Structure 1
Amino acid sequence: MAQRKLIIDCDPGVDDVLALLLALNTPTCSVALISLCFGNIGVTTSVRNVVATFQVLESERQYRSQHKLPLLPYHLHNPPGDNSTWPIVALGSTIPVSSRRTVGAEFFHGTDGLGGVHESAPQFSPSETCILPFYDPKTLSADQVITREQVIRDSKGYIPTSRQSWREILRILREEPEDTVTIVAIAPLSNIARAALEDPPTFSRVKEVVCMGGTIDLPGNMTPFAEFNFYADVDAAAIVLATTSRTPSSTLPPSSIAVATSFRGVGDDSEYNPVKFYLFPLDITSRHRLRKQWFVERCAGWLDKTSITIPHPGESPLATWMTVWLGAAFGKMEDLVTFEGGSRHCAADQADGVDGAYIEMHDPLTMYFAIVSDEERAASFNVAENMDIRMETIGQWSWGMCVLDRRGIAKRHPHEPRPARDDEAWLDNTKGNRVNLVVEGPGSQTFGIKLLDRVLGDLEAQ
């Protein structure tokens, strides 16, 4: 299988970091860019979590080398001193495209995005100066510039840049062959929308966008209708969904700034091709869970522990670090069981055949689809193709809702007359969005075990 080149746009909370670890430890993937967006936490906190991830992976390399243990795929493909395969890390949007609402998810992920790991396990946390390489040196003091240069020299596993992440997205899409780069969008879509708005023809060179967002038939996790990523920047979601259309202006809402700028008349531009877009809504991601029991059992060999606690020094740095923030996430979910009455969680227990705490694998499942072979996609996932899904950006109570035509009326062909009841072109085959909706996946246990095996490595190989 040829290597998949990835751009990962994320807001690194708990499931984002799991998704990053999954991608970095996949031998058939090359991560070109980690683009950071506001969302679960602010972008400066996101930087610290990404830098911590690379620091822990470097510590894990040293630990496994010292104890003559098998290295992770990440270590094998990123040898020390060779930065030719290191991903670029770039800061992106700090606010929504429209600036109309700003939200966060600290209530679940913690103020640092990882359940307080920077306080409870400071040995794994980078200095706050790790943010300096992402700022333009012209905006820094002389002392900060000196520190910035030292931080860049000391960086291992990643290459920091002060260039805005959506411009890095466009640069990579220009430089790489057309239809070779996959964007994995697991944050609010602000960075992706800014790239699409700035240069639609270049953005349309992308092979595919694989996105976690929205909800179709399930209630939302922010409002009765809205999922977090789409709710956080509804205009960005509307813009990116519109890139799937031959005539993007047919689905862009009046509130979107795109109507008056880049996408006006873009359907007539021969340089622009509709983007292939795969959507992972809550309907499928919430059915794929990582159980606390599975994680504890999988880590036992690395930590010699049977419960999630902070292990003593000398054990696997990666497993040690993960126990801290995953332990906090499992604890938060246990609190939610009590708060919500437990009905949804009891149903999940029946589906998995396992009781106890779990976290939903929104971002890792989306990443898994992006990194596996076409054959495994076909075997493990079911996709409803070319669905006209649009974003509600105006409604008082339906803000962030994914809207579909549920009337069951056949779409008309170009030569057929336009129905009087079709003011918004829902029945026109030449208009509307064309979203590939992922409706079935491999299942919780199958996916959860594969995720842990990929991230932690194969203990049997020892």
Structure 2
Amino acid sequence: MAPNRIIIDTDPGVDDVLAMLLAFSAKSEELEVLMLSLTFGNVEVQNCLRNVVTLFHHIEKERAWRKENGRPEGFEALMAHKPIVAVGAEEPLAEHMMVADFFHGVDGLGGIHSSHPHLSPSETWKSLFLPAPENLSAEEVAELQRVEDAHSLFTPSLKPAHEEMLQILRDNEPDTITIVAVGPLTNLAIAAAKDPEAFLRVKEVLVMGGAVDSPGNMTPGAEFNTYADSVAAARVYALTSPNPKTTMPPSIPGGKKKNGQLGAYPEGLSRRLTVKLFPLDITNRHTLPQSLFSTYTSTTPLPTSPLVQWTSLFLTSTYRKISSLSPSPPSSEDDKEEEEPPSLQLHDPLPIYYAMTAASSSSSSATTQWQFSPPEDLRVETAGQWTRGCCVVDRRGRSAHNVSEGDLSEEVVGDAGGWRDARRGNRVVRALESPDQEGFGGLLLERVFGGL
């Protein structure tokens, strides 16, 4: 079976790091990770970059530890293909920038770079993402080579992430590359605006984002990634429509000039984009309880694992944060029940797991496999005072009307917004069920840290 070849577009905070660890721990026949495309989101983008470099640093230490302890070194997918790392969007297309450092910590990993600086690699790695100075001495050339050798698990790029993304899509046959987007969709929106036909060569885009029937986690109705750049999400979803201009977001006054106001897509695009959405409705149900993580990682010899020691620090901080954000327990001793240990919702690892298992799942005879909705006209609110980033689906149960082809100014009577016009609207598919909902936390631990 050929591996699913993917680009991961990410804003590395806690669950993003777990998602990347899961991807790199995949079997070589399951995944080939071509690129990590970085965006702002959970924290600003340079902190995201530091978290990625630190991740590779600890994978390298982990593989050495496993070899010394006679354990399989693992990380097959990473060893089979060295991914490009490219830095992308620093801010949303048009809106006020919001980050989730209140949850993930100021550095995206619970403040670990300040609290445990000895676990972060020397910042000489920053030179990898800067143009090489001219007229270097032999000693300086040797030092640059030493830095490259110390970070040999990835290929640093000096190009913006959206340019690297487009180049990969141009260099490969259509429908052979999947983008797994687990942060705000800014990089994807910029790539699609710059060269929509190249972007549409993608096989599918798997998006962790949105809340449809579930409450939001940023506002009552909006999930963080979609809220952080609602305009980008609306622009990407518009490419699933037969006529993208029918769901394009309105021009926002004061939109940022360097990223915003990207303009309409050309008429007559050659194909539609396939988007599979993994909203809070399904990701909330996939969790890693603190009790399970503690029990698993306390079993010999894992307490001495460099990767366990690193992840334990930021996950412990995250579990504390989850507990602090949970509703206070009842004040009455009679009503007070024993508190359950906190659980981390595995939002970002879930679409990675789908990318790993989609091919085998579709051919399996197991009763419960991945289940998706039919294509839905799901749109993103970009202009509401209280509803920025909310997902809107028509719940009225009306059938679509086939209006004559051509002039889209011809509307169905009483159909504000074109919800009943078959020529208009998005076509987004939404994940409803997964094969491993109950055991996903344990499965992730086994994949990342190795079976005991």
Q: TM-score, normalised by structure 1?
A: 0.86
Q: 1: distance between equivalents of 2:90 and 2:426? A: 27
Distance change >3 Å, CA 77–CA 233, structure 1 → 2? closer
Q: 2: distance between equivalents of 1:273 and 1:361? A: 32
Aligned residues: 431
Letter in 2 for 1:95: E
Q: 1: distance between equivalents of 2:327 and 2:144? A: 46
Residue among 215, 218, 223 paired with 1:222? 218
**Equivalent residues in 2 for 1:117-128, closer than 5 Å:** 117-128=112-123
Structure-1 residue corresponding to 2:321: 332
1:367 aligns with 2:352: yes
8 A contact 1:33–1:87 mirrored in 2: yes
Deviation at 1:148, TM superposition (A): 5.4
Q: 2: distance between equivalents of 1:321 and 1:261? A: 41
Distance change >3 Å, CA 249–CA 147, structure 1 → 2? farther
Q: 2: distance between equivalents of 1:340 and 1:437? A: 35
Distance change >3 Å, CA 200–CA 62, structure 1 → 2? same
Q: 1: distance between equivalents of 2:144 and 2:284? A: 41
Structure-2 residue corresponding to 1:410: 399
Structure-2 residue corresponding to 1:51: 53
Residue among 66, 69, 78 paired with 2:68? 66
Structure-1 residue corresponding to 2:334: none
Deviation at 1:122, TM superposition (A): 2.9
Gaps of 5+ in 1: 305-310, 343-348
**Equivalent residues in 2 for 1:357-436, closer than 5 Å:** 357-376=342-361, 379-415=368-404, 418-436=411-429
8 A contact 1:21–1:455 mirrored in 2: yes
Task: State the secondary structure of the residue aligned to 2:164.
Answer: helix
Task: State the secondary structure of the residue aligned to 2:103.
Answer: helix
Q: 2: distance between equivalents of 1:57 and 1:7? A: 19
Task: State the secondary structure of the residue aligned to 1:374.
Answer: helix
Q: 1: distance between equivalents of 2:47 and 2:261? A: 34
Q: 2: distance between equivalents of 1:206 and 1:78? A: 22
Deviation at 1:380, TM superposition (A): 2.7
Task: State the secondary structure of the residue aligned to 1:380.
Answer: coil
Q: 1: distance between equivalents of 2:124 and 2:5? A: 30
Task: State the secondary structure of the residue aligned to 1:96.
Answer: coil
1:197 aligns with 2:182: no
Distance change >3 Å, CA 77–CA 275, structure 1 → 2? closer
8 A contact 1:235–1:255 mirrored in 2: no
Distance change >3 Å, CA 433–CA 138, structure 1 → 2? farther
Q: 2: distance between equivalents of 1:391 and 1:8? A: 22
Deviation at 1:435, TM superposition (A): 0.2
Q: 2: distance between equivalents of 1:283 and 1:361? A: 12
8 A contact 2:93–2:260 mirrored in 1: no
8 A contact 1:47–1:131 mirrored in 2: no
Residue among 437, 441, 445 paired with 1:448? 441
Q: 1: distance between equivalents of 2:234 and 2:143? A: 41
Deviation at 1:113, TM superposition (A): 0.8
The percentage of aligned residue pairs carrying the same residue is: 40
Task: State the secondary structure of the residue aligned to 1:365.
Answer: helix
Task: State the secondary structure of the residue aligned to 1:252.
Answer: coil
Deviation at 1:149, TM superposition (A): 5.5
Structure 1 vs Structure 2 CA RMSD: 2.8
Q: 2: distance between equivalents of 1:200 and 1:340? A: 51
**Equivalent residues in 2 for 1:54-453, closer than 5 Å:** 54-72=56-74, 74=75, 76=76, 85-98=81-94, 100-137=95-132, 150-255=146-251, 263-266=264-267, 268-269=268-269, 272-303=270-301, 315-338=304-327, 355-376=340-361, 379-415=368-404, 418-442=411-435, 444-453=437-446
Deviation at 1:237, TM superposition (A): 0.7
1:319-352 superposed Cα distances (whole Å, 9 cap, x missing partner) = 111111111111111111245989xxxxxx99xx
Structure-2 residue corresponding to 1:40: 42
Q: 1: distance between equivalents of 2:25 and 2:251? A: 41
Deviation at 1:150, TM superposition (A): 4.3
Q: 2: distance between equivalents of 1:38 and 1:144? A: 32
Distance change >3 Å, CA 424–CA 2, structure 1 → 2? same
Q: 1: distance between equivalents of 2:371 and 2:330? A: 32
8 A contact 1:133–1:149 mirrored in 2: no
